[in-house]
Structures are given as C-alpha cells and as structure tokens.
C-alpha cells in the first residue's frame, strides 16, 4: 500500500534549522581546532545531531554523523597545542559519543517513520470502516438523481415526439437531467475523496458546508434507524483552516457513534443534536446524543486505540479522530450529557486572515 509522505517541515523553518546547524558545526569546529587538545568541544556535535533528528531524514542523519566524526578527526590532526595523549583519548571518546548518538537518533527517526506509516494504514482502515455504515445512504443518495434523470429523460422524449415537438419543454427536461447528473457525480466525488486517502491538504474551507456534506450522506441511515437529527449550525462562521476531508471523516465518526448509541435506546430518545459554534477563535462542533452515555470513568479512555465496548467494534474510530484533529491544530473531547447521553466535541483553528478580521 502506498502511504503518504511524512509531513515535511515548512521550507522556511527547515532552511532556518539547516542554517543554524551549519553555524553550530562551524563554531564547534573552530573552537575545537583553536583550543588545546585537552578541551573536548567536539563532544557537543551530539547536541547538533539530536537537534536535527526531526529535521533530517534517516539518510541525512547518517551523513551528519559521518561529517561530525570527520570534523572531530580533522580538528585533532590540525590542533598543535596541548597534551597529545589527552587529545587522542578525548577524540576517541567524542567519536564514540557521536556514533552512539547518531545511531540512536537514526533508530528513533526510523521508529517515527514506521509509526507514521502504521497510523496512515489505520486511518485508511477507519475510513473504510466508517464508510460501511454509509453504504446504504450512498446508494440511496445516488438513486435519487438517477431516478430523476430517468423521469426527465422520458419527459424529454415525450416533448420531442409531439407534433410539433415542444422544444422549450424538452430543453427544460435536458437542463434537469444535467443538474441531476452533476449531483450524482458530486456524491461519487465526495465518497471517492473519503476513501482514497488523499494526502493531508490544509487550506481554508467553509466548515458548515463540509458538515452538511457529511449529513447528506447520513440522511438515509438516520431515517432507517428512526433517529431525529437537529443541525444547529452557527451563522457567519469564519473559514476553518484544516484538511476538510479529514475533518469530514471525524464528523462522520462522531455521527456514526452517536447513531450507534441512539439505536440502542427507545425511539423517542433517538435524537441527535449537531451544533457548530465559535469559541475563543476556534470553530467547535458538538454532537450530543441521548444514548446510554459514556461508560463510567471512560471520558479519556474512549480516545485510546483499540478501546471499545462494542461486540463488533474496533475501537480505532475515536483514537484516529483524535490524531486527525490534533494534526490539524485542534482538540477533541467527550463529556457526559446532563440529561443522559454523551457529548463529543472537537475544535479546529480558523484561517488567519479571518481571525485577524
Ligand atoms: P468503536 O466504535 O469501534 O468501539 P470508537 O473509537 O469509535 O470505536 O469508540 C470507542 C468507544 O467509545 C466505544 O466502544 C464506546 O464505548 C465509546 N463511545 C463512543 N461514542 C460514544 C457515544 N456517543 N456514546 C457512548 N459511548 C460512546
């Protein structure tokens, strides 16, 4: 499976890190070369390696380690002052310290890459999992425009077969056909975006519109389970700054959990309230249900991977939701609903210009 590349640091901050690294190395080399053998400054190359561990990839770290060892040796050969024996021992100690630090940083970086890949795979799994529940809705959603296209197609043929043909009416029917075909392809596009695991793409988007898209895909399932959903979306929200597809996936996850919690109680209690609001310069989405509520003491645990109370559950939906929300600069939390049930909420940052305005 192809996984997304690791989020690379922004060019400007990467450039700043590299410049600082070159400067630090140059200063260390100068001090190490111009001071006596006994002064073992080269051991501080280990700090440079540690500082660059998150900036350089594995190969870069190996090169940096090699370069630091090379410079340590070069300083030793250029230095003329001091006790040669002490200098030799210092140089060997520094070399071993740099080697060990480089090796550990390399290992840590490799583990980070492996963890990232595993998380990507889990995210895909969760996307597919959350889509299972939506399959019925998607079929239902696509059926509507398709049925409308067939109806308008028949109407168009009738207007054309009239003597004389009623071109005006036929044209209107063709218009309707085009509109419905657009709607169907829009639905397919949305589903494809959710499944294909597109790389993270942070940009400003209209939060409520993204929420409405998820709601549209969930309508049929809500109806099938006799769940009443009220959407209370705040007017005039600023643009959100995040990966809209990831955010939609989080909304779909919270909604699916709320539906599952609601399906387990009597029909009159099957109500979900979905709200969007602006709190302290962040957009907040809250999903409240009147289901059985959170298991005792599980307010934090529900976000742990593989923690589930459901027979068929995987326990990954909320943990992936948390990593996605946090990767987008937001925060996710759960709280009991005062009159029974649970509230799950998350926040996302607003686009800078909007916040400034
Ligand atoms: P799964 O749904 O596969 O169990 P999640 O990570 O989505 O995985 O959820 C973890 C657990 O959190 C669930 O098993 C359930 O115990 C609890 N939970 C999630 N949403 C709700 C909710 N709306 N009401 C009550 N409990 C919930």
Q: Where are the domains of the chain?
A: 10-122, 142-196, 203-356
Q: Ligand 1 pocket, 309 CB below 6 A?
A: yes
Q: Ligand 1 pocket, 261 CB below 6 A?
A: yes
pLDDT recorded at residue 294: 93
CA–CA separation, 141 and 127 (whole Å): 19
Distance of CA 315 from the midpoint of ligand 1 (Å): 7
CA–CA separation, 212 and 214 (whole Å): 5
CA–CA separation, 93 and 70 (whole Å): 14
Distance of CA 306 from the midpoint of ligand 1 (Å): 10
Atom of ligand 1 minimally distant from the CA of 320? 6
Choose which CATH entry (3.30.565.10, 1.10.3720.10, 2.30.110.10, 3.40.1080.10) describes domain 203-356.
Answer: 3.30.565.10
| CA angle 267–257–218, rounded 5-degree value | 75
pTM, 2 dp = 0.57
Distance of CA 122 from the midpoint of ligand 1 (Å): 17
Distance of CA 310 from the midpoint of ligand 1 (Å): 8
Atom of ligand 1 minimally distant from the CA of 318? 6
Q: Ligand 1 pocket, 103 CB below 6 A?
A: no
pLDDT recorded at residue 1: 37
| CA angle 67–73–79, rounded 5-degree value | 130
Specify the residue with its C-alpha closest to ligand 1, atom 17. Answer: 302
Distance of CA 205 from the midpoint of ligand 1 (Å): 28
pLDDT recorded at residue 8: 42
Distance of CA 192 from the midpoint of ligand 1 (Å): 25
Name the one residue in this structure whose structure tokens are 């009597």. Answer: 266
Q: Ligand 1 pocket, 234 CB below 6 A?
A: no
pLDDT recorded at residue 6: 43
Atom of ligand 1 minimally distant from the CA of 315? 8
Specify the residue with its C-alpha closest to ligand 1, atom 9. Answer: 315
Atom of ligand 1 minimally distant from the CA of 292? 25
pLDDT recorded at residue 199: 56
Distance of CA 292 from the midpoint of ligand 1 (Å): 11
Tens of pLDDT, residue by residue, the chain (357 residues): 333 444 444 455 778 889 999 999 999 999 999 999 888 899 999 999 999 888 888 888 999 999 999 999 999 999 888 898 988 999 999 999 999 999 999 998 888 888 877 777 776 666 666 666 556 556 666 777 788 899 889 999 999 999 999 999 999 999 989 988 887 887 777 666 655 555 567 899 999 999 998 888 788 788 889 999 999 999 989 999 998 888 988 998 899 999 999 999 999 999 999 999 999 999 999 999 999 999 888 999 999 888 888 887 778 889 888 988 998 999 999 999 999 999 999 999 999 765 555
Structure token digits, residue 138: 């998607």
Distance of CA 173 from the midpoint of ligand 1 (Å): 47
Indicate the angle between helix axes 244-263 and 84-132, nearest 10 degrees. 50
pLDDT recorded at residue 307: 86
Atom of ligand 1 minimally distant from the CA of 308? 14
């Amino acid at each position: 499976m192809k996984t997304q590349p690791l989020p690379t640091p922004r060019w400007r901050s990467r450039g700043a890190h590299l410049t600082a690294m070159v400067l630090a190395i140059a200063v260390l080399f100068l001090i190490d070369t111009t001071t006596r053998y006994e002064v073992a400054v080269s051991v501080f190359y280990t700090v440079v390696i540690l500082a660059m561990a998150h900036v350089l990839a594995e190969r870069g770290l190996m090169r940096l380690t090699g370069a630091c060892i090379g410079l340590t040796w070069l300083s030793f050969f250029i230095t003329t002052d001091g006790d040669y024996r002490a200098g030799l021992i210092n140089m060997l100690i520094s070399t071993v310290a740099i080697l060990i630090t480089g090796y550990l940083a390399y290992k840590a970086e490799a583990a980070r890459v492996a963890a990232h890949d595993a998380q990507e795979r889990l995210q895909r799994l969760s996307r597919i999992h959350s889509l299972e529940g939506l399959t019925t809705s998607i079929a239902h959603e696509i059926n509507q425009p398709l049925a409308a296209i067939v109806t308008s197609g028949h109407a168009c043929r009738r207007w054309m077969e009239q003597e004389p043909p009623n071109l005006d009416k036929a044209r209107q029917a063709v218009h309707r056909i085009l509109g419905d075909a657009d709607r169907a392809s829009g639905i397919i596009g949305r589903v494809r975006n959710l499944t294909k695991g597109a790389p993270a793409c942070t940009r400003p988007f209209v939060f409520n519109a993204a929420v409405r898209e998820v709601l549209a895909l969930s309508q049929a399932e809500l109806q099938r389970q006799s769940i009443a959903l009220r959407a209370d979306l705040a007017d005039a929200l600023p643009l959100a700054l995040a990966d809209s597809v990831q955010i939609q996936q989080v909304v779909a996850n919270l909604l699916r959990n709320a539906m599952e919690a609601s399906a387990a109680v009597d029909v009159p209690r099957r109500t979900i309230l979905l709200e969007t609001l602006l709190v302290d310069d962040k957009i907040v989405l809250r999903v409240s249900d009147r289901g059985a509520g959170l298991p005792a003491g599980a307010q934090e645990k529900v976000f742990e991977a593989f923690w589930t109370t459901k027979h068929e559950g995987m326990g990954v939906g909320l943990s992936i939701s948390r990593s996605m929300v946090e990767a987008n600069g937001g925060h996710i939390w759960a709280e009991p609903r005062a009159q029974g049930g649970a509230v799950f909420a998350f926040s996302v940052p607003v686009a800078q210009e909007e916040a400034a305005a």
